[in-house]
Amino acid sequence: MLKNYLKIAFRTLWKNRTYTLINTIGLSVAFGTCVLLFLTATFELSYDNFHTNADRIFHLNFLSTNRDGTVDRGSTMPYPISPALKADFPEIEGVTRWFDRSASVRHNDQTYNKDVRMADPDFLTMFTFPLQKGSAKTAMNSLSDIVISANMAADVFGKEDPIGKPLQLRMNDRWQEFTVTGVLNDAPKNSSIEFDAIIRSDNAADYQEFKTRWDHGNHDVFVQVKAGTDPQMLQRRAQAFMDKYFAKDIKDRQEQGYPKNELGFQRSLLLAPIRDLHFDTVTTHGSGISRAYVYTLLLVGLFILAIACINFINLTIAQSLTRAREVGVRKSLGAQRLQLFGQIWGETVLLCAGALLIGLGLAYLTLPTFNKLFRSYLALNDFLKPTVLLFTSLSFLLITLIAGGYPSWFMTRFNAVEVLKGNVTMSKPGVLRNSLIITQFTIACLLIVCTMIVRQQINYLQQKPMGLDKEQVVSIPVGNELNGSTALKAMRDRLASQPAIAAVSGSGVNIGAGLDGSSSRMMFGFLYGKRDITCDWLRIDTDYLKTMGIKLLQGRDFSPAYSTDSSSSVLITQSMAKALGEANPVGKFIKPDNKTYQIVGVVNDFNLYSLHQEAKPIALQMQAAAPIQYILVRVNPQNLTGAMETIKRAWKTVAPKQEFIGSFLDENTDRWYRKERRLSTIFSAAAGIAILLSCMGLFSIALISIQQRTKEIGIRKVLGASVGSIVSLLSKDFLKLVVIAILIASPLAWVGMSNWLADFAYRIDIPWWIFVLSGVTTLVVALLTVSFQSIKAALMNPVTSLRSE
């Protein structure tokens, strides 16, 4: 019996090979795309789940409200908060500070650039990074202890046992001696916390100065609560803790009329679960990823799979009339409805199984390109995980039941007597088919609109004036081995006589995402009269304005002729002058961090960070104690390649042992929007696939519909109908469905993309022509798809068609 069913199934699929091929291609592409997108989404959602105590580890945030009513949430904590939490809350069993730093490491005269983080001893017991060597209880007891990752152990020590071996770290402009006391497993790819080595947070340069100061923050804090502790109850109790240790700040905010936060207080301490850290785009300074991005991957995958399933259902139902006689004959010979259902559904299983295997093969072949394009870390092992195989099997079963179940049930309903008499008809033949076609093109049109809006926003961000000239400026990371001021002076001396070089300066902050992958930010809050001021505190050097193309509006620029410029003078931006309430602030004094600075000039506003966030007021200063982290070189535009080579040669003489990783600022700023470009690529690829699959389905439906109307077309031609009228007749019903889809998709796209754009401080107004263009594009593609078959049918000889009927 089974052999007979299989034989009939293969014969039926071969007989209708055009439709079999269309369904196989559609389902294969859908399965392959979905597997890749779902695995990527699953990987993103798995971040930090590997920690044994993940449900008891929290990342601390401060919550307050700005004067304009906007939410202010930050994770920068003061030094004394960690011991105070442990002392005041017995239900907290572990607290660790976390400094995201990098440093140069030296061993046997060989230097390595590594991510050397600073934390507290509780780090080793709170997080699940098992020690391969050493003890979690003693590995960080001393300030000179260092725990390294397995990967760093292999890089630095090779096969030698690193325990007890010395390492030197370049910290605070000098080399410090450390001893390796432990080797940790490497952090997995789905870890928000990354490191090559860990030392104690007490090693921070400013630790002794600020260890008792509650008004100075420079690190993150993680806490682990005891089993059975209610985090919400603990957070409510933390308000008394805030009132106790931040009383002065809270009082100042009340006196200045700041609105309360959403919890009803001036400042609150939030306990954010560690599993949410990967999706925190606020306190992680842009390194987090929005959950909306992950859900978009899942949604796009579902959209593509839905379109492929709709094609299958439509084609199967459309073919049902041609198989009606087969069903009638089988019923008259005694076949039961369940047997017929099994036969027809079995064909679906065979076709879907073949499509799944082909789809998995396509996914595997495109895996390297996919990983590079979407910065994923998928491998063959990810396909073979038991959970993935189980999910794939259940999804396959569900799809075959949905895509093949209804058409199979539909065809087994035919009355055998009516079928054999030739009187079979389909009740309301177009309702389901039309609904599914509308759904297909709604999805396709939706993706087209989203693609266009994302691209428009990216172009807007890249082209929006930043208040500085980012073109022809090279940024060179100084690194941890060199003194920034010394390296800047050396580079100035070597480039001074080069005609390709226009200006050289230095800064503590890079513009854009440089090749070193590092970012930093320092902000100060202080009172100016009764005004509460918050500003970015930017270390620069002389010629910064010239190098960056920033306009001086009032006062003077920094100059070596003024000795006070390197100690007590600042430049401020227009927005900071406005925040101070001064029309002419030159000569006025400000006191951030209880130190007095005189304003010597005002410059135009410029964006120091990405346009996701509104530009903050900026104070530019030249304090010698603050390090120069980047050397900035403006080159003449005539020969950019030659100028870059000149800079490289100069750098080699300044830092012969250090790799040159300089990059142009315009490239750096483009890297700010990598996530948006990935999203655009996803939408573009998905829109292309959706349109392709939709058109394949529409082509097939049109072909079947025209075949069923062959006699009607022949009669119309005999009665004098023109080719144009027949094409119009056959096409207009399908085009009506596409128009309805466009009308449904447009408002959905507008709502969805308006919410997405809300994440940007600077954003486009969605233009009306995008909806018109996407609608016209969809309509033209659909028209071309249907017209091909319509014209072919209209040109057919009516004598031939009527004779065949």
Q: Can you give the pLDDT at residue 407?
A: 65
* pLDDT at residue 427, rounded to an integer: 46
Pull the structure tokens for residue 452.
Answer: 């266009």
CA distance 417 to 411: 14
From residue 45, give the alpha-carbon distance in Å to each of 39, 272, 372, 578, 681: 10, 16, 19, 43, 21
Nearest of 747, 756, 736 to residue 774 by alpha carbon: 747
**Angle at alpha carbon of residue 532, lines to 526 and 536, rounded to 5°:** 55
Indicate the SS3 state at residue 720: coil
Helix (H/G/I), strand (E/B), else coil: 229? coil
Burial profile 623-648: b = 16 or more Cβ within 10 angstroms, e = fewer: beebbbbbbbbbbeeeeeeebbebbe
Q: How many helical (H) and strand (E) elements, i.e. helices and strands, does the chain have?
A: 26, 25
How many whole angstroms separate alpha carbon 221 and alpha carbon 75? 8
CB 39 within 8 A of CB 378: yes
The length of the chain is: 805
Given a contact cutoff of 8 angstroms between Cβ atoms, the answer to whether 557 and 601 are in contact is yes
**631 close to 504: Cβ distance less than 8 angstroms:** yes
Q: How far apart are CA 804 and CA 169, in angstroms?
A: 88
- Token pair of 348, please? 């679906």
Rounded (10°) angle between helices 231-245 and 81-88? 120
The pLDDT score that the predictor gives to residue 672 is 78
How, if at all, do strands 597-603 and 589-590 pair?
A: antiparallel
Angle (deg, nearest 10), helices 291-318 and 17-45: 160
pLDDT of residue 429: 47
Q: Which residues contact 76 (CB under 8 A, 6 or more apart)?
A: 62, 217, 218, 219, 220
Reported for 1-6, long-range contacts at CB under 8 A and 24+ positions apart, including other chains, are 5/342, 5/343, 5/346, 6/346, 6/350
User: Could you give the 3-state DSSP secondary structure of residue 600?
Assistant: strand
Neighbours of 382 (CB within 10 A): 17
* Burial status of residue 522 (CB atoms within 10 A of its CB: 0-12, 13-18, 19 or more): middle
Quick one: pLDDT at residue 428?
47
268, exposed or middle or buried, with CB in 10 Å at 0-12, 13-18, 19+? buried
Tell me how far apart the alpha carbons of residues 500 and 513 are, in angstroms, rounded to a whole number.
25
Q: How many CA atoms lie within 13 A of 291 on its CB side?
A: 8
SS (H, E, C) 440-480: HHHHHHHHHHHHHHHHHHHHHHHHCCCCCCCCCEEEEECCC
- Do 771 and 746 form a contact (C-beta atoms < 8 A)? yes
Beta bridge partners of 524: 535
* pLDDT on residue 337: 60
**Can you give the pLDDT at residue 97?**
94
Q: Which residues pair with 99 in a beta bridge?
A: 118
Give mean pLDDT in consecutive 10-residue pieces for the chain, a chain of 805 residues. 61 67 79 84 87 93 81 86 92 92 81 88 93 89 92 90 90 85 91 92 87 85 92 90 90 83 88 90 69 81 82 68 60 61 71 83 85 76 78 78 66 56 51 77 84 83 80 84 83 86 88 74 78 84 90 90 86 90 88 85 87 80 83 85 86 82 83 75 77 75 68 71 72 82 90 82 84 86 75 65 54
Listing DSSP states for 153-201 in one string gives HHHHHTTS--TT-EEEEEETTEEEEEEEEEEEPPPPTT-S---SEEEEG
Cα separation, 567 vs 752, whole angstroms = 50
Contact 327, 411 (CB under 8 A): yes
* C-alpha distances in Å from residue 760, one per residue of 65, 102, 276, 363, 669: 19, 30, 21, 34, 15
* Positive/negative CA dihedral, 785, 437, 300, 780: positive
Q: What is the reported pLDDT for 331?
A: 59
Tokens of 564: 């006070």
State phi, psi for 602 to the nearest 5 degrees: -125, 130
Four-point Cα dihedral 341, 344, 349, 351, nearest 10: -170
Tell which residue, 733, 219, 748, has the closest CA to residue 447. 748
